[in-house]
Structure 1
Amino acid sequence: MKPPYSTILTVLTWIAVFSSDGAAQPTWPSSIDELEDVMFLGSGYRSRGFHSFVTPCSASPDGPGRQTAAEWLRAGFHDMATTDIYYANKGIVHGGIDASLAFELNDGEDIGAGFNSTLLVYANFFNSRLPVADLIALGVYASVRACSGPVIPMRGGRIDATAAGPLGVPQPQNGIGQFTNQFARMGFNVTDMIAMTACGHTLGGVHAEDFTNIVAPGTAPNDFQLFDDTLEFDNNIATRYINGPDTDALSIGISTASGRNSDFQVFSADNNATLQAMTVPAVFNSMCISILQRMIETVPPTVTLSAVIEPYEVKPAGLQLTLLSGGTQLTFSGDIRVRTTVRSAAQISSVQLLYTDRNGASVSTPIDTVVAGTASGFDDSFSFYSFSVDLPVTTSISSFTVLITGTDGTTETYDNNGGGFPISDSVIVQTPQSCVNNGDLTVVAAVRSSVTTPVNMTVTEKVPRKAGSPTPSPVPSLVSTTLDMVQGDTIGPYNIYSASYSIASVAGTKYGVASGSFSDTFKDASDLGTTCGSLNVSEPSSTSSSIVSTSSTSVSSSPIVSTSSTPVSSSPIVPISSTPTIGAYSFQGCYTEADSTRALTGASFFNYTGMTLEQCATECVGFSYWGVEYGGECYCGNSLNTGSVLATNQGDCSFVCPGNSYEYCGAGNRLEMYLLSSLASSPSSISSTGTTQTLHIVPSAGLYNYYGCYTEGDGDRALGAAFYPSDTNTIEDCVAACSPYLYAGAEYGRECWCGNSFGAGSAPAPDSDCSMVCTGNQYEYCGAGNRLSVYIMNGTFAGGSAGSIPASSSQISSIPSSPGSSSTATSATAAATQTGATIKPSIGKYAYYGCQTEATNIRALNEASYYNYTSMTLEMCASDCGGYAYWGVEYGGECYCGNSLNAGSTNATESDCSFLCPGDDLEYCGAGNRLSTYYLTE
């Protein structure tokens, strides 16, 4: 049935009111440059790889029953949904797209694994120039576009929250009155509410695991029921609701009996008028463009968003000046990115830089370029043109314009909105003389002698937020450190400065140098080598000034052809090949991913601009295996998961490493795989006693016993009294080195830390977190990144399993076994100062029974119930259920009582009950379909 003309007219009028404004080319450099790169460079040369997580539309690294695109779209709504526009002018939390979702995952309103996995992906792209809030908005754009939906206009400039927002995400069990009020609080009327729900529910569906009273387990493929019949972004959600067959689990089915048929309630709020209009594809797309743009542009009034982002027609990338030995010349290098969406690369004859010297005078000789590679996004394509040329220090450079000459002889000049593309030679990071070795970052800079202000180095690291911290989050915090640099030699008109700083990992670490208003910043530590080069005061005997290509995405060994008349350097081309050994690791071949999971799941690191095999080997030190995939993705592990096998065609691993054009770095679904050489040559090593050794937690060594796996502290080392790093580290060596101290801890494979007490914030972690192999013994575990395998002198506790809290022997107590369980659980009571949530063994007359699932088509406990989503505690539920044999807290704020557990309720993994109690964040209050359950002992 077609919607009435009046309804369509009303909807189209609504769309026109909220249409986006025009977009203009930004002036480079711009605050949105990092966001623009991630948004448009989906694959290819200098690509950022953001699109790969949602391409194709069905993609999910977590296997069947998941759809990353749907999870990204849903994350955008949940982050926005705590908005309260009525507080906008009162100086109180406003909400909106502000990444507060990262702190709200245990509040009972954000059920499902998709939120955590989404934020973990965003955490890889997050940096000082790209907030998580912008990534959440960008995820909405990418998820819709990857699934053949329309382009959602995107702006940048959001600001990340530092704590959770208020509760208020709409839940399926809410009535239409509450839905209407909640959307009004967000700033949306009834039509908006219907449109946003339909546009959000065109992707994804409902997981039976999380919502058993909406989708019964075992009734849908992979226990995942789609809202409509397709994975794509289309209007089937509307047409099937209006015309049938409607399969939306939030509209029909068992959700109606439990009052959770929220889509039916929302869609029928205006007698289906809006849904009828949305059965027209053009109307559906137009309404979704408008409402989703408004959704991601819901921000606090203090935030000013940029103009709608369009790709630059011409944009510099990776520009760098470098002072050469002798101080008479500077090398100027980098790439020029040219948009080829309308004008194809085949129509371009040459790309040249016309530049002015450091005093602003034009230089007659242009800088020529060579083709370096191509990249593309959802709707645009780009070609990169590389250059590297030596310039006299005396004249140098201050700005340039880009001249593009077509194959038909026509020319176009791009002048950066009239001002030219600026370059400063006052402060220069000397990349060849900078390096990272064993965690020590050394930075060298050349500073013009005319600059007299102090010279500083800034290092920004991603520091994981601890689970027990006041603001736990899967997204790390950015910690910046500023250091004074020390002046050394004077070379030509430059003074040379240097500084060193110890970093935990090169992954995600940025550094830079500044002096007054001059700076050279936002450099990737992962791009540096392990050896610092020299910079001589004396000039070399001869110098050259030729144009050379800096990289190539081609696997072919054919020479790169210059697009200008200037000859390319005639140095021989080194063929790309597989590297037999990298450090202690041997090449195993080109491997596939595993079945429904990653081949290697121990750790992962990403660098889509500078990845090399050597970098991945460094990041995965301590693991048995590592492999590089898709050019810039590094994965580590101690075993290959089922299904990962040698690829039939070893040439499948054809992507060139972005940081070394002579190495291969895997491909899509293909890993360039390496294994510890000792394991490769002897898979089952025999000990001196004739026993086959296996990788294990060392139970005791010398006078020390295993104490557990621990996190680092909050801004402080867990064990900071002494430090003994070693590339031959073992547990035996570490406890021997720490013999004067009570505790010894092995971390990151090669590090040994000692102390007599733990630093603030250090908390127990699952043993499985301490998964790195000791650099000196491949059969022993030595912690991991931000995880220590801890040992105590003369200790008696050998704990550390998930859910337990290792303590001194005097603190260990027994917890009664759950009824029906044959095992007796042991744990430790909380220390005097509890630093994180724990499973409480008893609450008054009740003892802990376990983490339980709901029953089959009925509540596990159904004789009484109480709700408090803002201040629920275990003690509150115990009081409300006084006299019942059992009680349990679910979903953070729901308390259920009963004298028996109904059929179908079974024991679940303890870690499933992961929601923190809203009234006490040191207690666990179940989760979705999971109850933290207690039983009466008297």
Structure 2
Amino acid sequence: MIAAVACGHTIGGVHRVNNPTITSTTNQGFDLTRTTFDNGVAVEYRDGVLTNPLAQPYNPNLPATSSDSRIFGSDGNVTLNRYAASQDDFFTDCVSVFSKMFNEAVPSSTTLTAAIEPYPVSLNMVVSLRAGAFHIQIGNARLYGLEGQWATFDVVPFDRDGIAFSSAQITALWTVRALRTLSNGANIQVRDFVTKSPGVSALTGISSVSVKLVMNDGSTYSSAGGHERVSVEDSINIDTGAAYTCIYTDPVTSAVGVNITIQVYSPLGYSAADKVEVYYEDSTDSTRLTYGAPIKASYRSSRPDTPYVYYGVFVPDITAINFGNFAARITRSTGVVSIDNRRGIFFKQEALNDCVAGATVPTPAPQPTVDLGRRAHGRRFTGHCPLKGWSRCQGVCVNTQSNIESCGGCIGMGGLDCTTLEGDVSCLMGVCVRH
């Protein structure tokens, strides 16, 4: 066990993002030569150099920080002192323990493939839709093993039609940070990039991001697999802006709900054949393996001058259905399914902002169903409505821009009850709309 831990912890380290209670350093190495396979982990342990975040003095309130030191000391430090005194002994025992792991623990029928080599040029990014615009909060372009072989290294976005952004557009919308280098055996050169506020407009859209790498001989790098370009998925996106997807507290019942706005790519306009749904994790299941019944989204409106339309879901009381983290999906008439689930992580409802009072379509306030609207009549206000832009109709505060029973105003004061119309109707910006 001592050899397995010491040999396994002579390279690498502990990442803060995964273990914030163990280290405050982004990536704290197990020893000072974290990229070199040597006996440094033993030498530093013997000499009292506390580099290894897992070989600290025992702390009963945080025993994880001494997990290595307790194993190392289990034989009175005899083995670690031997490793510190002789790197040859260390290597010999590492070969032995790794051989046992690979040759005895792994079935003899197992065949190892060739070592996996990183792509010479690759991209990684997280794209989101916020307040009607596309944003890249985290993006990086990486070069592996190409140091000294290239002349220019740029990150270029392409619009919806596949046309590269102009220099002026990139300057206005793009921040590409200074080149940085990582050394993990081989040098990795990285350019980090993000979008500037207010993001990339849905009018132009963004279809992909590519690395443009001009080599020293004047050629432009291109791989057979196209790994230097990453496509942007815009078939379906949850808009996380505060005026779009947000926590809504009912002014009458104080029930906490959530309003979700979903943008769908639909160049021919609204299609009744598209099935848009929100699916969610059961908040009572800590394993996050139980899901509630999918909630069908309702069409809300089109986005003028863009190929997108809005759908919405309003959950009036998240505790009533154990509504936890959520995602969205669309099933086209062809059977093709697209999802927006934050790359498998899901959107966290507890991270959402409160809804903006008085906003219209896509509205953060509920677009009430008939049942929800009628239920609200159980309690009535006699004073002014607490939310800006709302009206008191028959003793109930409502948003007349979206309330299905008081659309455009109170009944008798210019408003209409959309529920009296036939078909699937809703109130959009104060107007009854049949879908």
Q: TM-score band, normalised by the shorter chain? A: 0.3 to 0.5
Give me the TM-score of the superposition, normalised by structure 1: 0.25
